[in-house]
A and B are shown apart, each in its own frame.
Chain A
Amino acid sequence: NAGVTQTPKFQVLKTGQSMTLQCAQDMNHEYMSWYRQDPGMGLRLIHYSVGAGITDQGEVPNGYNVSRSTTEDFPLRLLSAAPSQTSVYFCASSYSRRASEQYFGPGTRLTVT
Chain B
Amino acid sequence: AQSVAQPEDQVNVAEGNPLTVKCTYSVSGNPYLFWYVQYPNRGLQFLLKYITGDNLVKGSYGFEAEFNKSQTSFHLKKPSALVSDSALYFCAVRYHGSGNTGKLIFGQGTTLQVKP
Contacts and interface: CB of A to CB of B under 8 A. Distances in A.
Given A48-B103, A56-B101, A58-B103, A42 B90 contact: yes
A92 B101 CA distance: 13
A101 B43 CA distance: 14
Contacts of B34: 101-102
B69 to A, nearest CB: 17
A45 B104 CA distance: 8
A44 B103 CA distance: 9
Interface of B: 4, 32, 34, 36, 41-46, 49, 51, 90, 94, 96, 98, 100-104, 106-109
Interface magnitude class on chain A: 20 to 34
B21 to A, nearest CB: 14
Interface string A7-51: 000000000000000000000000101000000111111001010
* Residue of A31, A42, A90 contacting most chain B CB atoms (<10 Å): A42
Nearest to B48: A101
A50 B49 contact: no
Contact of A97 (B46, B101, B106, B109): B101
Contacts of B36: 104
* Residue of B32, B43, B45 contacting most chain A CB atoms (<10 Å): B43
